[in-house]
Amino acid sequence: MENNCEIRPRPKTFREMIKSWHFWKPFLGVFLGGVAGFSYYYFIGCSGGSCAITSSPVMSTIWGGLIGLFLVKSPCTSGKC
């Protein structure tokens, strides 16, 4: 059976790094996760203060960003077969 896994080399210079997907992928994951976390707080979160994560917009945004980062940088999406 053939191995269809293509591993792309990482960029060498700073300018190549800024233009590459390796650089922007974590930022995009954190940003979209933060937006999703804040949206969860705004539309669903509890207002009574009894929920540790969803009662604060800051905590919801931070947790959403961390989950977004984990989803983007998880070992399953690293491109290694």
The structural domains of the chain, with segments of one domain joined by +, span: 33-74
Spatial CB neighbours of 68, under 8 Å, sequence gap ≥ 6: 29, 30, 31, 32, 33, 34, 36
76 Rama sector, left if φ>0, alpha if ψ -120 to 50, beta otherwise: alpha
Tokens of 30: 């954190």
Helix (H, G, I), strand (E, B) or coil at 15: helix
Q: Which residues of the chain have pLDDT under 70?
A: 1-11, 75-81
- Predicted local confidence at residue 81, as pLDDT: 46
Spatial CB neighbours of 14, under 8 Å, sequence gap ≥ 6: none
- Predicted local confidence at residue 46, as pLDDT: 79
- Predicted local confidence at residue 45, as pLDDT: 82
> How far is Cα of residue 38 from the mean position of the Cα atoms in its chain?
14
Q: How many CB atoms lie within 10 A of CB 43?
A: 7
